[in-house]
């Protein structure tokens, strides 16, 4: 497998994430190999089940879930694994989506009185997400995954990613390991391997605010950008707003709904200062 270049790594990482080629070699390549082990076992299991039932083996995607807080680096992990798995399996189709697109639109959140709860479990159209996962797992042909824009801070109307019979699908989002009380089937029921990206909440807050500052630095030339009013306004007031959103929304969501799902993951990647992964936990059983 050809080594990853610095340019490819820069393209994979999120806005304020930090990751090195050494991290790829020491952490992500072994993680890719572990997924390979699970993937082989999955394929063997599918074949054995088909043989037992005396049925023709139908292609069923292997699904990897990636969970964790906002601003912790889930997207970097997802994109990097997509690149590494595509390199490892050049004849297979590897795709990657985020569950952000399954949030209700801002208009619908306002109608439901949920704008202040955006990101919490009730702000997602879980029925749509579970239907989507079921269609993917049953390989029902090209399936539309709604897209989300961090520039407009909203779901994009009539804009989709097309999931077309992948061999491996990576599904990344804060809610992918959660167990909503009103659902009989959970998103994680469709996963064959799962990862939780972890860090101390105080560090995540710092990364969240660092990302917010970078978004302001890039939004001031685009009046259509959600962050434009904050970018051209008083910087200290904007930062105070971001800190308030973290304290009243993102931190409670992390504490009450995201962090409790950590133990459900097959692998936990724990980060410390500068997004450095300093501990890796593998689920025993």
pLDDT in tens, 167-193: 999 999 998 998 766 667 788 899 999
Compute the mean pLDDT over every residue in the chain, rounded to the nearest whole number.
Answer: 92
176 is in an annotated binding site: no
Residue 102 near residue 124, CB atoms below 8 Å = yes
70 is in an annotated binding site: yes
Tell me whether residue 274 is in a domain.
yes
Look-up of token digits 């919490």 = 120
Q: What is the distance between the terminal CA atoms of the chain, rounded to a whole angstrom?
A: 31
Give the residue with greater pLDDT, 220 vs 134: 134
141 is in an annotated binding site: no
Residues 48-75 pLDDT 10s = 999 999 988 888 999 999 999 999 999 9
Looking at residue 113, which CATH number applies to its domain?
A: 3.40.50.300
Planar angle of CA 23, 263, 155, nearest 5 degrees: 75
71 is in an annotated binding site: yes
DSSP run (H or E) holding 47: helix 29-53
DSSP run (H or E) holding 231: helix 228-232
240 is in an annotated binding site: no
Give the Cβ contact number of residue 24 at 10 Å. 20
Tell me whether residue 103 is in a domain.
yes
Which structural domain, as residue segments, surrounds residue 80? Answer: 6-282
Alpha-carbon distance of 212 to 227, in angstroms, equals 9
Number of domains within the chain: 1
Those residues whose C-beta lies under 8 Å from the C-beta of residue 59, and which sit 6 or more positions away, are 139, 165, 167
173 is in an annotated binding site: no
Tell me whether residue 1 is in a domain.
no
Tell me whether residue 64 is in a domain.
yes
């Amino acid at each position: 497998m050809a080594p990853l270049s610095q340019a490819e790594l820069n393209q994979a990482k999120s806005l304020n994430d930090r990751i090195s080629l050494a991290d790829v070699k020491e952490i992500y390549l072994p993680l890719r190999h572990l997924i390979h082990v699970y993937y082989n076992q999955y394929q063997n299991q599918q074949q054995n089940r088909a043989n037992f039932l005396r049925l023709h083996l139908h292609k069923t995607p292997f699904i990897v879930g990636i969970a964790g807080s906002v601003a912790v680096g889930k997207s970097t992990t997802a994109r990097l694994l997509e690149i590494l798995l595509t390199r490892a399996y050049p004849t297979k189709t590897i795709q990657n989506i985020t569950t952000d697109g399954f949030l209700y639109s801002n208009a619908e959140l306002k109608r439901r009185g949920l704008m202040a709860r955006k990101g919490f479990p009730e702000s997602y159209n879980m029925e749509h997400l579970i239907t989507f996962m079921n269609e993917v797992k049953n390989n029902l042909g090209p399936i539309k995954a709604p897209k989300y824009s961090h520039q407009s801070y909203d779901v994009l109307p009539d804009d989709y990613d097309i999931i077309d019979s992948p061999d491996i699908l990576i599904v990344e989002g804060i809610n992918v390991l959660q167990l909503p009380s009103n659902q009989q089937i959970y998103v994680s029921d469709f996963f064959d391997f799962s990862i939780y990206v972890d860090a101390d909440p105080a560090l995540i807050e710092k990364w969240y605010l660092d990302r917010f500052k970078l978004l302001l630095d890039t939004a001031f030339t685009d009046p259509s950008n959600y962050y434009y009013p904050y970018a051209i306004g008083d910087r200290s007031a904007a930062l105070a707003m971001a800190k308030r959103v973290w304290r009243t929304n993102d931190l409670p969501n992390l504490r009450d709904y995201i962090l409790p799902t950590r133990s459900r993951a097959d692998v936990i990647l724990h980060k410390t200062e500068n997004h450095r992964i300093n501990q890796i936990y593998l689920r025993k059983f």
